[in-house]
A = this chain, B = another copy of it.
Amino acid sequence: MNFCSHCGGPVVLQVPEDDERPRHVCPSCGTIHYQNPKLVVGCIPVWEDRILMCRRNIEPRKGYWTLPAGFLENGETAAAGARRETLEETASTVTDLEPYLMVDIVHIHQIYLMFRSRLLAPDFHPTRESSEVKLLGEADIPWNDIAFKVVEKTLRHYLQDRPSGRFVFRTDKIDNRRLIGS
């Protein structure tokens, strides 16, 4: 951030009064520009004993497999955002959304919230964002070609809980900050 989005003047990095963190502050108009983590919402769409996965047709990680997920938009609930992303990426409709897993991805300022869900019908097809969309049994999951670690974590938690039928809300964390510094 270089300029104030309110008045267009240059911003400076400083700790505001009664604050403890450096913020982008505008000396011209006084606006403090806070930057906060973003919420990514997504689904595990299930039909019978199979999971709907999609192959990314866009960067990053084009060509790798993922679960439908994306940034929550202003004006929608987290569940509505997860349904929208599933529709956009797989052209399918999910129902019975239950919050299942929250993953803090600390180093990129993202919080993932993944819902369990049920496909209304086994209707789906490739989209602009997904070159392939497939229902996969546990044995067919392409573990070596998963797009993101958070997706792998979600699938592993889900498959671990599934035999018992008891899906308790879980939290998990990914933090690569030490790796970057080393």
- Protomer copies: 2
Contacts of A109 in B (CB 8 A): 74-75
Chain A 61-84: CB-based contact to B (< 8 A → 1; otherwise 0): 000000000011111111100000
Q: How far is the CA of A104 from the CA of B78 in the complex (A)?
A: 7
- Nearest 10 pairs of A and B residues by beta carbon: A169-B169, A3-B8, A77-B104, A74-B109, A1-B5, A5-B5, A36-B38, A37-B72, A3-B5, A8-B8
Residues in chain A within 8 A of chain B (CB atoms): 1-8, 10-11, 18, 21, 24, 33-39, 71-79, 99, 102, 104, 106-107, 109, 111, 113, 128, 168-169, 171, 173, 177
Subset of 19 A-B contacts with CB under 8 Å: A4-B5, A5-B11, A8-B8, A18-B128, A21-B73, A36-B38, A36-B73, A37-B73, A75-B106, A75-B109, A75-B177, A77-B104, A77-B106, A77-B173, A78-B104, A78-B111, A79-B104, A102-B113, A169-B169
